[in-house]
Structure 1
Amino acid sequence: MSNMIGKFRISNGKKFSLNDFDAGYADGFEKEDAKEVLSGLIEETFDLQTELYAANKYALLIIFQAMDAAGKDSAIAHTLSGLNPQGCQVYSFKQPSTEDYEHDFLWRHYRALPERGRIGIHNRSHYENVLITKVHPELLLKENLPGIDDVKLIDNKFWAKRYESIRAFEKHLTDNGTVIIKFFLHLSKHEQKERFLKRIDDPKKNWKFSAADIEERERWGDYMDAYEKAIQETATKNSPWYIIPADKKWFTRIAISSVILQTLKDLKLQYPVLSKEEKEKLDESKKLLEKE
């Protein structure tokens, strides 16, 4: 598993290119084995989640970014289905509200961070501010930023500062005990087309499709450039990106679960050790209970 994870991990984005990653990669796994493999991974993760909560030293923030129809929702549902829901919190970020626009672009994401001992999942994240806004810079005008009252004023220096803000934000979090996993579900354009067609053909999935999805699909190249640049600028040793093949949903779930499990293992979590005085109180409590 560790070798597989190494293929996906980007901790230095200087030479990163999406062209080096195959959206259909499956590392030799077969679909018929996926359910059993995933079940085993989730079972191990459940045990470590309990230790994460008991240790109360780290928080785990898991970020999901992807193009439409890449399977973020189903990946979250399947890979985290076996965990204790009391220790998890999921936020799906939509278009910013009026209140959000009255603050800096990181504000609403900071408010949604997990507490120590808990796992937080962000379905889309602060990266939307260098992804959709990069493709549609007119959206930035809603932020009412000083000196930015025309899209022509949004230049490379602006984006450099925004990437810098994201790196500083994530460094602050990791320095203070929040472990960050950033997933980009790498879907091919062809597979997106097939999934869109299934949504249109299946009445139960019609609600998932919007005509706007086709308009955004026409900007595929612009989005790929935006993702590639964002990963190049923000992949660091302490806050890496994982480029997860997304054409085969069953393997996507295995890969995601493998990364989460290995990340928790690397923390070398331990249950709290009682002091001598606390242990004596525990023994006394046991004696009292046994006398009842």
Structure 2
Amino acid sequence: MKDFIKRFKVTDTKDFKLSKHDTAETAGYKKDEAEDILTSLIEDTAKLQTELYAANSHSLLIIFQAMDAAGKDSAIAHTMSGLNPQGCQVFSFKQPSAEDYDHDFLWRHYKALPERGRIGIHNRSHYENVLVTKVYPEYLLKEKLPGITDLKDVGKKFWQNRYESIRNFEKHLTANGTIIIKFFLHLSKGEQKERFLKRIEEKDKNWKFAFGDLQDRKKWGDYMDAYEEAIKETSTEDSPWYVVPADKKWFTRIAVSSIILQTLKDLNLKYPELPHGELEKLEEAKRLLEQE
């Protein structure tokens, strides 16, 4: 599992290039062994989730970002399938509402953060504000930002300030006990085409396809540039990005599960120890129950 962290964690932000990351990598794993591996990973993660809940000192925020059809939904479903739903919450962020636009861009995401002891999963996240808005900067005008009355007002300094806001936001969260893992599911344009065609050809997948997805596909290069810049600007030691290959869904799930499990292990959580007086009460309760 530590190998997955070393392999996919973005540490060299200065020379980071998405083009250097293989979208079809499987790290020597084979598809026919994936199910057993994933089952074992899920079982181990479930045990550590209980420790996270009992310790009540940290929360875990897992962020998923990707192009359409990269497998975010299925990765979340499979890697989280063994967790206790009482200690896990999933938020999927769509287009901001009128209320959202009346606040700063981080507001709705802050409201969705997991409490201590819980795992929060964000399907898309505050990063949409440096991804979609960078590809379609006209969306920024809806935010009614002071000093931004025209797209000519949006330049390099604007984006640097927004990256800084994100870094400060995540720094504040980690300082207060929230562990952050950020996954970019790295899909090739060719594989996206194949998955789109399946959504169109297979009736039970028709609902997954939206014609607007083709508009984003036309801007593939712009999106890759936006992702590359966002990852370079916001991958830190305390709040790292992991670029996970997404052409093989079965391997994506193994990699994501392994990184989550290792992150929880590294917390070295322990069940709370009861004070002496409480232990005496437990012994008394045991004696009374045995006497019934």
Pairwise TM-score range, normalised by the shorter structure = over 0.9
**Structure 1 match to 2:44:** 44
**Structure 2 match to 1:147:** 147
**Structure 1 match to 2:257:** 257
Deviation at 1:5, TM superposition (A): 2.2
Could you tell me how far apart the structure 2 residues matched to 1:12 and 1:50 are? Answer: 34
**Structure 2 match to 1:64:** 64
Secondary structure of the residue aligned to 1:268 is coil
Deviation at 1:291, TM superposition (A): 1.4
Could you tell me how far apart the structure 1 residues matched to 2:11 and 2:93 are? Answer: 25
1:212-250 Cα shifts (integer Å, max 9, x gaps): 111110000000000000000000000000000000000
**Structure 2 match to 1:102:** 102
**Structure 2 match to 1:174:** 174
Trace 1:197-212 onto structure 2 (pairs within 5 A).
Answer: 197-212=197-212
Could you tell me how far apart the structure 2 residues matched to 1:213 and 1:262 are? Answer: 34
Could you tell me how far apart the structure 1 residues matched to 2:61 and 2:97 are? Answer: 23
Could you tell me how far apart the structure 2 residues matched to 1:219 and 1:145 are? Answer: 25
1:242 equivalenced with 2:239 (yes/no): no
8 Å CA contact retained: 2:64, 2:123:
yes
1:131-152 Cα shifts (integer Å, max 9, x gaps): 0000000000000000101111
The TM-score with structure 1 as length reference comes to 0.99
**Structure 2 match to 1:162:** 162
Q: Which letter does structure 2 place at the counterpart of 1:169?
A: F
Could you tell me how far apart the structure 1 residues matched to 2:48 and 2:202 are? Answer: 39
Secondary structure of the residue aligned to 1:10 is coil
**Structure 2 match to 1:76:** 76
Extract structure 1 runs of 4+ deviating beyond 3 A: none
Secondary structure of the residue aligned to 2:70 is coil
Q: Which letter does structure 2 place at the counterpart of 1:121?
A: I
Deviation at 1:80, TM superposition (A): 0.3
Q: Which letter does structure 2 place at the counterpart of 1:109?
A: H
**Structure 1: tracts of 5 or more residues without a match:** none
Q: Which letter does structure 2 place at the counterpart of 1:158?
A: F
Deviation at 1:3, TM superposition (A): 1.5
Give the aligned CA root-mean-square deviation in angstroms. 0.7
Compare 228-237 and 7-16 and name the one that shifted more.
7-16
Could you tell me how far apart the structure 2 residues matched to 1:141 and 1:13 are? Answer: 30
Could you tell me how far apart the structure 1 residues matched to 2:280 and 2:90 are? Answer: 40
**Structure 2 match to 1:135:** 135
Could you tell me how far apart the structure 1 residues matched to 2:127 and 2:143 are? Answer: 15
The TM-score with structure 2 as length reference comes to 0.99
Could you tell me how far apart the structure 1 residues matched to 2:123 and 2:7 are? Answer: 23
Could you tell me how far apart the structure 1 residues matched to 2:12 and 2:158 are? Answer: 22
1:31 equivalenced with 2:31 (yes/no): yes
**Structure 2 match to 1:194:** 194
Could you tell me how far apart the structure 2 residues matched to 1:56 and 1:3 are? Answer: 28
1:184 equivalenced with 2:184 (yes/no): yes
**Structure 2: tracts of 5 or more residues without a match:** none
Could you tell me how far apart the structure 2 residues matched to 1:96 and 1:227 are? Answer: 20
**Structure 2 match to 1:85:** 85
**Structure 2 match to 1:7:** 7
Secondary structure of the residue aligned to 2:212 is helix
8 Å CA contact retained: 2:78, 2:253:
yes
Trace 1:114-129 onto structure 2 (pairs within 5 A).
Answer: 114-129=114-129
Could you tell me how far apart the structure 2 residues matched to 1:11 and 1:115 are? Answer: 28
Q: How many residues align?
A: 292
